[in-house]
């Protein structure tokens, strides 16, 4: 039950930050900061996973990065749409970003 509240609070918090950054015309800066923070969390998760006595934090970081992944996909597509005006390319980028974890999971299951 606690995980549900944790996930809900993170989603609400990120949504509120997104709305305020849009209201004050800071959306691009907000997107860049969140993507950098996601990269930091991802590499922290990989680092913590390698050290035995820090693995208790690995589950927490893994849940955070899992929640945060699809939100970062949307932010990345938003930033790419500011640079690239080709909708066909953006469509395939969205497919790649959203279906990438599925294919990686299938490969891990197969081997």
Range of the domain at 42: 2-110
Average pLDDT, integer, range 70-79: 83
Q: Comparing C-alpha atoms, which of 9, 2, 3 is closest to residue 63?
A: 3
Number of structural domains the chain divides into: 1
Q: What percent of the chain has pLDDT over 70?
A: 93
Neighbours of 8 (CB within 10 A): 10
Q: What mean pLDDT is reported for the chain?
A: 81
In this predicted model, what pLDDT tens digit does every residue of 4-57 receive, in sequence order? Answer: 677 778 778 888 888 888 888 888 888 888 888 888 888 888 888 788 777 777
Q: What is the pLDDT of residue 101?
A: 73
Return all residues near 56 (Cβ < 8 A) that are at least 6 apart: none
56 contacts 45 by C-beta, under 8 angstroms: no
Return all residues near 30 (Cβ < 8 A) that are at least 6 apart: 17, 18, 21
Kindly indicate the confidence band of residue 62, based on its pLDDT and cuts at 50, 70 and 90. Answer: confident
């Amino acid at each position: 039950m606690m995980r549900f509240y944790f996930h809900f609070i993170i989603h609400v918090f990120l949504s509120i930050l997104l709305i305020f950054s849009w209201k004050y015309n800071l959306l691009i800066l907000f997107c860049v900061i969140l993507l950098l923070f996601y990269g930091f969390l991802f590499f922290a998760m990989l680092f913590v996973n390698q050290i035995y006595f820090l693995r208790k934090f690995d589950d927490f970081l893994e849940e955070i990065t899992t929640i945060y992944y699809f939100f970062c996909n949307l932010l990345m597509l938003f930033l790419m749409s500011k640079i690239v005006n080709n909708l066909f390319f953006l469509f395939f980028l969205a497919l790649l970003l959203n279906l990438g974890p599925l294919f990686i999971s299938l490969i891990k299951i197969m081997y």
